[in-house]
Amino acid sequence: AQSVTQLGSHVSVSEGALVLLRCNYSSSVPPYLFWYVQYPNQGLQLLLKYTSAATLVKGINGFEAEFKKSETSFHLTKPSAHMSDAAEYFCAVSTRESGGGADGLTFGKGTHLIIQP
């Protein structure tokens, strides 16, 4: 079985400040991990994914995430927040051998990122 926990349903940061969105996973086998973003009135967009290559994964829009097996974490960070980063962010895990697509993803509840001017 696999599961994802996102700490904090809402995170508020000032423009220009560090963004840190937390994600912890549970998996009985090596996981594949994803971060998706949802802007208002839009679909889910893939930010980045970890599929057992480099533990530090760089994504779009300046975001990156680090896979830490010892902490079962995959936290999302961005050094400097921009107003356009305001959105809902979802962490997801898959243990499917494929590692790609959207087969059997288990999502977290999401974190709403608020950017203060």
Q: What are the residues binding another protein (CB under 8 A)?
A: 4, 36, 41-46, 51, 90, 92, 96, 98-110
Considering the complex, state which of residue 29 and residue 70 has its C-beta at the smaller distance from another protein.
Answer: 29
- The two tokens of residue 30 are 């090596």
In the complex, minimum distance from the CB of residue 34 to another protein, in angstroms, rounded to a whole number = 9
User: Which residue, among 106, 86, 104, has the nearest Cα to 11 in the 3D structure?
Assistant: 86
| AA letter at 115 | I
Considering the complex, state which of residue 74 and residue 90 has its C-beta at the smaller distance from another protein.
Answer: 90
DSSP string over 58-81: E-GGG-EEEEETTTTEEEEEESS-
In the complex, minimum distance from the CB of residue 95 to another protein, in angstroms, rounded to a whole number = 12
In the complex, minimum distance from the CB of residue 3 to another protein, in angstroms, rounded to a whole number = 9
